[in-house]
Chains A and B, each alone.
Chain A
Amino acid sequence: SQTIHQWPATLVQPVGSPLSLECTVEGTSNPNLYWYRQAAGRGLQLLFYSVGIGQISSEVPQNLSASRPQDRQFILSSKKLLLSDSGFYLCAWGGRTSGANVLTFGAGSRLTVL
């Protein structure tokens, strides 16, 4: 069966520090991968999505970046965090067949920037 892992689960970082959130998927090949952010009291904001290794599309201009060094690995990074980067970050994967629309989400990473 397919599983998705995100880490770390919780992170407290000072303003201006770097960030790396990692997401890995098991049990599937060539998935579509997504990074979402949830700010307090708000819905889901799509940050990045990827249809393959090295292929990243950015939905919102910001100081975050994403990379996909391996088929089932998706990394969210920042060189210098801002206070506004605080939030709940969710990684998700989707397939390529008729069920492609069904997303499976990780448990999330809570980032607090102080």
Chain B
Amino acid sequence: DADVTQTPRNRITKTGKRIMLECSQTKGHDRMYWYRQDPGLGLRLIYYSFDVKDINKGEISDGYSVSRQAQAKFSLSLESAIPNQTALYFCATSDPGIQNIQYFGAGTRLSVL
């Protein structure tokens, strides 16, 4: 089983719909992240959480919200999806060591029509 699991893997939705992307991890890490990937732009940080009570905005948080339900679960919501939120979304966790290595899920491909 994957250490970082994202569901769904693919989703097509319509403008204005509310969407939730889920992430769960079995690595026991406290730190979790949500990124989006767009062609030619690399990965951009949406939100990050250092523990259940510590949630922070990243560089592109507008239009998104998150919930850290437990140490192992971190979900990303699009309250009212718009077409420019069409992207590949990744969840990641990081280890507590000084190297701060991040471990990624397989991604969710979201299309907003």
Q: Are A and B co-members of a single complex? A: no
Name A's B-contacting residues (CB within 8 A): none
